[in-house]
Structure 1
Amino acid sequence: MVVGLGVGVARGRHDGVDTIWGLGFAVIAVVGLLVSGSGWLVTAMTVLWGVRLAVHIQLRNGRRPEDPRYVALMDRATGNPHWYAFRKVYLLQGVIMWFVSWPVQAAQYETSTGVLTWVGVAVWLVGLGFESVGDRQLSRFKADPANQGKIMDRGLWRYTRHPNYFGDACVWWGLYLVACQHWIGALTVLSPLVMTLFLTRGTGKALTERAMRDRPGFAEYVARTSGFFPLPPKREGTR
């Protein structure tokens, strides 16, 4: 996070912290592997998820101006603006990252595999698929000028308004199930719960929909499409 702050100061924008989010988990997983000497499976799962997310976000943000959230944050800064950004963004996200990664750290001391291990891998694969495909579909939709101002309601977005966030939640519940092979890992249940709350009620779904609520067609999209878990779209006239 300190390195990320330095890059943000040099660039004059702080949305790079979104890229660091995925890379940070990958770093934690690699360091945990070096310390524990075991846990190749859970390390590979975390690194693959984190690097893919980081690349996707960097490619997306690189074509845009500074994220309005960070512009507003810097406008509220008191004292040194970069120190303010470090406390309010980088340090806070670093602490959350450390807490959410507990299942990964616990699983790296597991030397045996069992049913929960492979159930966790299956849930993780579902999550990675939803997140990757959903991100790709949305990127292609936005790249078409004919879709300017329209609501994405195709592909996975037809069944859930947030396939990327749903996939993200599945990834962390999958990692938690891998950790549950041992009772110590089972004690880290607050980590995926906190991540899921962030995705559904914090900076994920809730914040995104607040920014989109005045867009034409969004109310109709909400009425027929599940908010998080993938479900068949509601037919017109049904509740």
Structure 2
Amino acid sequence: MTYTLLLLLLAMILVDVMAGAWAIAERTGQSGWIDSIWSLSLGVVGVLAALLPVAGADTMSTRQMLVAAMVGLWALRLGLHIARRTHGGGDDPRYAKMKADWGDQARGKLFLFLQIQAFFAFLLMLSVLAAARNPAPELGWFDLAGALVLLLAVIGEGVADEQLNAFRADPANRGKVCDWGLWGRSRHPNYFFQWLGWLGYALIGLNGVETYPWGLVALSGPVIMYVLLVHLSGIPPLEAHMLRARGDAFRAYQARVNAFFPGPRR
């Protein structure tokens, strides 16, 4: 298989999977399945991008297996977490607001929106591909640092999610804003750690970059994820929903806690 055929195969998988996600969301009325399926599909294509044989590669490298394990671990934890949150719950408020704004065109516009998500997943997959196919002969400090960053990101995101779950499970917190633990240092610590994990692939791609300029492609992962989370589908629609739901309490939270990067309270 050539790299061109590999990329076409992975693009087709993402297009088909997100079409399936649209059908599931329409049938169940629970748009949360979209994010779960998107995360898991990115893990699948990431593993395939790392491990599928291509022309000119006689053996599978340790780096390929490392990167495949990294993207698989990240996707499995996040996808299952979102699936658990979605099961038995209502519609995701971000998607519910978009569909309400779209009105009678909601079905078609949601389908197009999910194909755009497939496109961004493809771009993120290129970061995984560039890291996994780095031909540097041995694992080095960049590879170790990348794996440790990804592991820290998975743990940090898991801790943030569990802290929010614990807060929501306490009836005394109904109608309040979670501002303890990691949520007292960042309004979106789960998003921050999700972004941080993509720095791991960048580090691995940069190992020996002087002889492997394609490793620079791995830098696109954290850039794209930052734009998605901070400026597009992450923070803006979620904070708009929180302002509608929590009002002045959330405005006060915004005034004292950073939006993305963890830091001291103001």
TM-score bucket (shorter structure): 0.7 to 0.9
Paired residues for 1:74-89 under 5 Å:
74-75=99-100, 76=102, 82-88=107-113
Match of 1:160 among 186, 193, 212: 186
Letter in 2 for 1:97: A
What TM-score does the superposition give when structure 1 sets the normalisation length?
0.87
Structure-1 residue corresponding to 2:250: 218
Per the alignment, in what secondary structure is the counterpart of residue 83 of structure 2? helix
Asked if 2 retains the 8 angstrom alpha-carbon contact of 1:42 and 1:104, the reply is yes
Unmatched runs of 5 consecutive residues or more in structure 2: 1-17, 54-59
What TM-score does the superposition give when structure 2 sets the normalisation length?
0.79
Asked if 2 retains the 8 angstrom alpha-carbon contact of 1:150 and 1:216, the reply is no
Match of 1:140 among 137, 154, 166: 166
Asked if 2 retains the 8 angstrom alpha-carbon contact of 1:13 and 1:66, the reply is yes
Asked if 2 retains the 8 angstrom alpha-carbon contact of 1:78 and 1:84, the reply is no
Structure-2 residue corresponding to 1:103: 127
What is the Cα deviation at residue 224 of structure 1? 2.2
- Could you tell me how far apart the structure 2 residues matched to 1:40 and 1:223 are? 44
Per the alignment, in what secondary structure is the counterpart of residue 52 of structure 2? helix
Paired residues for 1:43-58 under 5 Å:
43-58=68-83
Matched, 1:91 2:108: no
Asked if 2 retains the 8 angstrom alpha-carbon contact of 1:19 and 1:53, the reply is yes
Change (3 A) 1:215 1:84: closer
- Could you tell me how far apart the structure 2 residues matched to 1:124 and 1:30 are? 15
Match of 1:208 among 238, 255, 264: 238
Structure-1 residue corresponding to 2:57: none
Asked if 1 retains the 8 angstrom alpha-carbon contact of 2:94 and 2:241, the reply is no
Per the alignment, in what secondary structure is the counterpart of residue 119 of structure 1? helix
Q: Which has the higher helix share?
A: 2
Which one is further off, 137-146 or 222-231? 222-231
Change (3 A) 1:7 1:217: closer
Identity of aligned residues (%): 32
Structure-2 residue corresponding to 1:233: 265
What is the Cα deviation at residue 129 of structure 1? 2.1
Asked if 1 retains the 8 angstrom alpha-carbon contact of 2:202 and 2:218, the reply is yes
Structure-2 residue corresponding to 1:3: 20
